[in-house]
Amino acid sequence: MTSMLNRTIILLIVVCAGAAAQEDAGFIYVAPGHAPGGATIQGGAGGELVWRFFGFGGDIGYLAPQQSFSSGLGVLSLDPAIHFARHSDSAIDPYFLGGYTLMFRNGVRSGGNYGMGINWWFKRDFGLKVEMRDQVVPSTHFWGVRFGLDFHFD
């Protein structure tokens, strides 16, 4: 019992120390892409907490066929990420991500997503994002190239 209590206390200390050292960022994006029915367009917004090289974020958006924007789907993604440069150390921040995707309209479909991208912080609190992401729900791939604006909240 004491061993479990000690582990819990150590875990809480590590989590609290990590929370104090993290960076938070938000973004908005637009993403032309493709699905089995043809060309798509997606737009949305999200955010991410980054601690050292590890991040966790999420975004919510709208994905639609380019010919029929009103026939779109809501998309929610939650993703861990690995960053190869930190904002405070470099203006260029490449990363890989992958995680859970939920698509919704008249019902829901669960799936996953994976991708890679780069943030270019040309000012301390403002930058550009380019990301390739594939969102997969059972037997269907929705891929797109995201172009966005990044900003820090601090």
Residue-wise pLDDT tens digits, 1-37: 455 555 555 544 444 444 444 678 899 999 999 999 8
Q: Which residues contact 26 (CB under 8 A, 6 or more apart)?
A: 45, 46, 47, 48, 150, 151, 152, 153
pLDDT in tens, 86-97: 555 678 899 999
pLDDT of residue 6: 54
User: What percentage of the chain exceeds 70 in pLDDT?
Assistant: 82
Tokens of 35: 């699905």
Answer yes or no: are the C-beta atoms of 39 and 49 closer than 8 Å.
no
The fold of 24-152 is Porin (2.40.160)
Q: Is the pLDDT of residue 58 over 90?
A: yes
**Which residue do the tokens 């260029």 mark?**
92
Classified as helix, coil or strand, 139 is: coil
Q: What is the DSSP string of 90-134?
A: -SEEEEEEEEEEEEEESEEEEEEEEEEEEEEEEETTEEEEEEEEE
φ, ψ for residue 67 (rounded to 5)?
A: -80, -20
Prediction pTM value: 0.81
What are the domain boundaries of the chain? Answer: 24-152
Residue 9 in tokens: 């206390």
- For the stretch 94-139, pLDDT in tens is 999 999 999 999 999 999 999 999 999 888 889 999 999 999 999 8
Q: Is the pLDDT of residue 74 over 70?
A: yes
What b/e string do you get for 74-87 counting C-beta neighbours within 10 Å, with b at 16 or more? ebbbebebebebeb
Q: Which 8-state DSSP code applies to residue 16?
A: H
**Token output for 39:** 């060309």
Give pLDDT, residue 16: 43
φ, ψ of residue 12 to 5 degrees: the values are -65, -40
pLDDT at 12: 44
